Amino acid sequence: MMTPTEGRERGNKRASRGIKRAAFKHRPEIERGTLRFLDALLLSATGCATLDDAADSLAGKYVDGGKWRASIPKRLQADGLIAGARVLKSARPARHAGYLTEWRLIDRSGAERRRAELLAAQAFDNPPKDAGESAVTDSPALDLSTFTTNGVNEHGKAV
């Protein structure tokens, strides 16, 4: 027979595995969500925020259920940046007033560092189009229109 404590531990382990699986396919969304959540925490007068505060739209619904969003505060909590403050009911209609955690910022400088890291990673992944010659571009490295050939490709076919 399982005790209530064993049942909670088993449930928490299953939830953690599910969150990790859901998060695996949503890395860009998680990074953007983490940035929005950190912004909400850092801008809050109380230093507290919920994932509702980081949602694009309270009226929006995640077609995949949005289970991956739970990895946002879980990671920040594991890194010692936030702690659970209290349980509230969601303001998002799609959540049907379901319970969610309000998180309290406990390491402001760590949160600011993480925010800077996320912004730097975003800038690296999405360089500006007018960043000069050293920027990554969508155009090919060589202008193949000026290349002269002997009229035969590497497979011996006429070009």
What is the C-alpha to C-alpha distance for residues 31 and 37, in angstroms, rounded to an integer? Answer: 10
**Is 100 within 8 Å of 88 (Cβ atoms)?**
yes
Own/partner long-range contacts of 8-16 (Cβ < 8 Å, ≥24 apart): 15/70, 16/74
> pLDDT tens digit string along 104-127?
999 999 999 999 999 998 877 666
pTM of the entire structure?
0.67
> pLDDT tens digit string along 15-34?
777 666 766 678 888 899 99
> What pLDDT, on a 0 to 100 scale, did the predictor assign at position 157?
61
Per-domain boundaries in the chain: 10-127+136-146
Amino acid code (one letter) for 117: E
10-127+136-146 classified as CATH 1.10.10: yes
> Averaged in consecutive runs of 10 residues, what is the pLDDT profile of the chain (159 residues)?
87 75 76 93 95 81 76 92 94 84 96 94 70 47 47 57
